[in-house]
Amino acid sequence: MMYDVAIIGAGPAGASAAIFTAKAGKRTIVFDSEQSITRRAWLQNHYGIESIDGPELVDIGKRQAQSFGAEMVQAAVNDVKKNTDGFVIATENETFEAKYIIFATGLWADVAEKIGLKTKPATEPRIKTIIDGDGNGRTNIEGIWAAGTVAGVSVHTIITAGDGAKVAINVISEMNGERYVDHDVLKSSN
């Protein structure tokens, strides 16, 4: 089965990207290795939420993405290879195909480096390497995008979630051939 978008990472950036791509009707698969640093966080600085623990925030985001149709796979991605229609994504036990990929791997850029994505030293504390993409999420490999901390964005969850959404909107826009906007409107009480 060919997915429209494969998202590697299910933390705030990855799950946020999945919410947008799945809600836009794009067949979305998300790979979760459960290595999100957010799982160790206590958050009191997330807009609209007085306080929440990291595991709960991650789980809510994943459930929200699933509610729009995103599929979750509990596995680490080991390799990505280009094929004629897009990419083959390999985990330890299975392979999957997708037209587009969004890397949202947080602290980890090892698979990105392995497949030839350009990287550079990070400037954020405790982050060693990031994917060297443009400000819109594009990387040096056409069809592969990067979002969140691995793309050089601040580790703060509200910022990485917003970046995941931004990159997803850019991917959807490219797929659709026109700028995509996702705005829901309050239903009238009349």
Residue 189 lies inside a defined structural domain of this protein: no
Number of domains in the chain: 1
Give residue-wise pLDDT tens across range 112-130. 999 999 999 998 888 899 9
Residue 184 lies inside a defined structural domain of this protein: no
Answer whether 99's CB lies under 8 Å from 89's CB.
Answer: no
CB-based burial label for 170 (10 Å; 0-12, 13-18, 19+): buried
Residue 124 lies inside a defined structural domain of this protein: yes
Residue 125 lies inside a defined structural domain of this protein: yes
Q: What is the domain extent for residue 69?
A: 2-176
- Residue 188 is classified by DSSP as P
**Stretch 126-147: mean pLDDT:** 96
Residue 185 lies inside a defined structural domain of this protein: no
- The H helix count followed by the E strand count for the chain is 4, 11
What whole-number percentage of the chain has pLDDT above 90? 73
In Å, what is the CA distance from 122 to each residue of 18, 47, 107, 112, 128? 25, 26, 10, 14, 5
In this model, does residue 155 exceed pLDDT 70?
yes
**Joined tokens for residue 185:** 């409107």
Give residue-wise pLDDT tens across range 6-63. 999 999 999 999 999 999 999 999 999 887 776 677 777 777 888 877 788 889 999 9
Say what the pTM is.
0.93
CATH assignment of the domain containing 21: 3.50.50.60
